[in-house]
Amino acid sequence: MKKSVKNLIITFVIGCTVYVVGKMLTGGFIYNNVNEFLIDFGFYQLYAFVLGYSNMYFFWRMNRVNWKRNSTLKRIIVGVVGSTTITLVGLFFLRALTSMYYAGNTFEAFLAREKFEYYQFGLWITLIIVAIFHLIYFYNKYQQNKLKEQKVIAGTASAKFDALKNQLDPHFLFNSLNVLTSLIEENPNQAQKFTTSLSKVYRYVLEQKSKELVTVDEELQFAKTYMSLLKMRFEDSIVFTMPEQAANPESKVVPLSLQLLLENAVKHNMVTSSKPLRIKIYEDKGYLVVENNLQPKQIVKKSSGVGLSNIMQRYKLLTSKKVDVNKQANSFAVAIPMLTKQISVMRPQTSNQIDDSYLRARNHVEELKNFYYSLLSYCLVIPFLIFINYRTYWGFQWFWFPMFGWGLGLIIQAFRVFYSNKAFGGSWEKRKIEQFMREEENRKWN
């Protein structure tokens, strides 16, 4: 229903535009009475309605065709040729019917007086409208492709981020079981304590599975627990220092980043009582640094490539800040950024969220397009009304009423499209909903 009304408005505006242009080219708006004006104006609207709807149907059929990506030129040629043919055939039948039923001529008399120049004006108008239709069509296609690209990018980033996180579960468990195997051989009592502590540590791993970021305090606490597991095996061969809490409690890092760095330090360096591994965690200019003395093993097991590479890739998906690796003669340090703003990887968590975002974007584009249609109609119709007012009776300037009334409607529409989405739109609604939810939660706790 809405589409039919919209098409009627479009054809009416086209009819008015063609009427104004046609009269300006043929000598002006000179009528003996109002009835003569209404008949002439009605014929223009009839032509606009028939030709407009026939071309709209043709474009609708073309849009249902699955065009290939490289067939843009072909589509334009088919559209122009098809619209030209439809317009010429439509004009011929409309002129023939008008001549026979309105003017009372025979079909033979109509054909005898018919010339191609009678079709030139209608043909040029059609070509202009076809060009405008194609511009609108390809602009909409461009917008749709941009939205689809964003959805693909978001889905790819989300899948990649999830893959990186899921990579950690078996990796962590595999390495922990290796430690447990060594402890069973060396110290069965410690192995039993290790098993109990490992269950607590692995619970943290599972809790962080759905999170993109965790607070530095949470990660430091987990690092402390994980180091206690390593000290069960290496005892005094590891010296470990770290702050109790972060300087900024709101700062965040990617989950399990410290565990991976600590694990790498133990894996690639000798850990003996004569040469203890000294690991230090500290903050430095917005970075959380894990530093250890460098005493590389002579024979290192083949690396799985999960640790440091995983951290770098996850940070790459979250922020422009990079992980800094500093290797010197006697030390090795990795600095990971501490993020203080709410940063989230582009990840549609559910299909409903994807659809909602897409629909909101599409609705905004549709509202913007409707506003431009209204603005174009206003710019075409109001001058036409002013001219009619001037040619009929300038003593009473009634054109001010539609000009101000319609203008006020345009201002309201522009406010809704360009401003209200910022002031009272989705983001404002989201902030208000979150505010009310916090207030409700506080009332429950109080």
Q: What is the mean pLDDT of residues 98-106?
A: 85
Count CB-CB contacts under 10 A for residue 90.
Answer: 19
Across 417-441, b (16+ Cβ under 10 Å) vs e yields beeeeeeeeeeeeeeeeeeeeeeee
Q: What is the pLDDT of residue 199?
A: 77
Q: Which pTM does this prediction carry?
A: 0.44
User: What mean pLDDT comes out for the span 154-176?
Assistant: 55
Q: Give me the pLDDT at residue 289, please.
A: 94
Report the sign of the C-alpha dihedral through residues 349, 351, 353, 357, in that order. positive
State the average pLDDT over residues 71-77: 80
Residue 350 has a pLDDT of 44
Centre a 10 Å sphere on the Cβ of residue 385 and count the other Cβ atoms it contains.
17
Tens of pLDDT, residue by residue over 389-434, are 777 777 777 777 777 778 787 787 777 776 655 544 555 555 555 5
Give tens-digit pLDDT for 332-349. 999 999 987 655 444 444
- Quick check: 83 pLDDT over 90? no
The rounded distance, in Å, linking the Cα atoms of 346 and 150 is 9
Q: Quick check: helix, strand or coil at residue 305?
A: coil
Q: What is the mean pLDDT of residues 94-107?
A: 86
Give per-residue pLDDT as tens, 120-157.
Answer: 877 787 777 777 777 777 777 777 777 666 665 555 55
- Per residue in 189-206, pLDDT (tens digit) is 777 777 877 777 777 777
